[in-house]
A = this chain, B = another copy of it.
Amino acid sequence: MEPTSWIGYTASLLTTISFLPQVIKVLIERKTRDISRNMYLVLTVGLGFWLAYGILKEDLPIILANTFTLIFTTVILYFKLKEKEPEEN
């Protein structure tokens, strides 16, 4: 594999796993008070665009990273939007 691909897959792996602690925390505690709803809304839509971009460019590191990160942010967002407190930012 060429160096550029390795760098892409390393980037893909690191940014994807960086969301795991937050996902695990939300799944275990079911608490999302300190999480910014607006950040995760914009981030999730943005990751959808990155996934489309990766598919159109046929770029596997971009496709992989954004598929998994999109799943993670969707889980976080689901629990955030399900939460009953209306005062969140």
Interface on A for B, CB 8 Å cutoff?
3-4, 7-8, 10-11, 13-19, 21-22, 25, 34, 36, 38-40, 42-43, 45-47, 49-50, 52-53, 56-57, 59, 61-62, 89
CA distance A59 to B58 in the complex (A): 13
Count this chain's copies in the assembly. Answer: 2
Closest Cβ–Cβ distance, residue A76 to chain B (whole Å): 12
- A49 contacts which of B10, B21, B50 (Cβ < 8 Å)? B10
Q: Which residues of B contact A42 (CB under 8 A)?
A: 14-15, 17-18
Closest Cβ–Cβ distance, residue A6 to chain B (whole Å): 9
CA distance A18 to B40 in the complex (A): 7
| A/B interface sample: 8 pairs, CB < 8 A | A3-B56, A4-B53, A10-B46, A14-B49, A15-B42, A15-B47, A15-B50, A18-B39
